[in-house]
Amino acid sequence: MLEETEKESLLLVQRAEMIQNDDWQRFYHLTRGWYFLGCAQYALKKRHEALGSLRNALHNEQELCKVDDYHIFTAEKVAMWKYLADLTDAGTISGGEQ
């Protein structure tokens, strides 16, 4: 199930990157795709990949807020910050990047 979520999320990111002339749609779908991808990678214990995906989700959410100051990903941002904190702590405890 998580592997399928990871694959589908990557496809969502790839499709969203192709959106032109509509920054709101592009950043909205990039945020969703990177968020779901990062959550799946987090659950699969793919630490390095999850860090990158969750950071990409936060970056795209910030870009979305520049287009429309709507803040529709507030709940997801709370989860992302928690996951990033967990992943960062895990890296510190284990001695760095895996």
| pTM, two decimal places | 0.88
DSSP state of 22: -
Name the domain count of the chain: 1
Measured in whole angstroms, the distance separating CA 62 from the mean position of its chain's CA atoms is 12
Structural domain of 88: 2-94
CA 48/CA 90 separation, integer angstroms: 11
> Mind listing the pLDDT tens digit for each residue in 5-39?
999 999 999 999 999 999 999 999 999 999 999 99
* Residue pair 24/64 in contact by the 8 Å Cβ criterion: yes
